[in-house]
Amino acid sequence: MTSDHRETTGARPPKSTALAPTRWRSAPLLAALLLGGCGAGDAQGAAPAPEAEAPAALTLPEGYGLVWSDEFSVDGLPDGAKWAYDTGLNKQGWYNHEMQYYSRARLENAQVRDGKLVITALREQMRTAADWGGQQYTSVRLMTQGKAEWTYGFFEIRARLPCGRGSWPAIWMLGSQGDWPGAGELDIMEQVGKEPDRVFSTVHTASGSGGSGAGAAIVLTDACSAFHTYQMHWTEQQISFGVDGKAHFSYANRGSGTDQWPFAAPQFLILNIAIGGDLGGPVDDSIFPIRMEIDHVRVYQKAR
């Protein structure tokens, strides 16, 4: 299978070097999310799980302690003890018709400076790279796979997003055991430059994935000019997503099995900027360079 297959065909995306594929999206999903609701069923006709009622507030629960973090206090490349690079599909091309080349250990695309991680997407060609697949843009996809993974917890990532038509930044998680979508995917935050004032969160499982993922969007008019704290609280009962302490979507464990709830197993974290593709859309070359700045990443879990 190639990256030319889309989720709207009902086909399963290929396996990545991260054990599970990237976001497998289409424009219909964005339309559904911007209306504040989830999809109407997957390609096989299975309906996604019902949404739980999102709590009004989303704050660090009592009894939780910090178990992992990166405050980005040491200038240079991202901490190699905490972050790995996903470059596995550069040659053949990434999913969703995305247009970027993901680099490895390259300061131009991923640099810690002034207490922040700066992920930069550039308009350039990596012609001398052995795995260059003809892409016109470079970016980076950082992940904690092989370094850290978690089952349940409170996740907090403070970031300022890039803007410009064709940008597609994301803060998200993938199941480390199994293939997509069966191992599950948790999109803490996604945004596209053609809708810069909206951010959305989505859950993908075997019972509802791609255009049928369950999720919701909110309006955030200064997402590209100000830092916001993107949050997720994941328990055995439900997963809630929010921004700056206010929840906008929750997904409930209805006890019907792993097709609907694969989230009793570990997931790893991913930070990236994709360019173009089925959801990112046409690219305005005048926007480059674009940057996502991350002030901190913190993971808390309930004290045992």
Q: How far apart are CA 153 and CA 234, in angstroms?
A: 5
Q: Quote the CA–CA distance of 22 and 195 in Å, as a whole number.
A: 21
- Residue 293 is a catalytic residue: no
DSSP 66: E
What is the per-residue DSSP string for 273-304? EEEBHHHH-S--GGG-SEEEEEEEEEEEEE--
Tell me which of 7, 156, 185, 195 is the catalytic residue: 185
Q: Are the beta carbons of 42 and 210 closer than 8 angstroms?
A: yes
Cα four-point dihedral sign 115, 121, 123, 128: positive
CA distance 263 to 186: 9
Q: One of 7, 156, 190, 195 is an active-site residue; which one? A: 190
CA count, 13 A, side-chain hemisphere, 234: 26
Cβ-based neighbours of 45, under 8 Å, separated by 6 or more: none
Which active-site residues does the annotation give? 185, 190
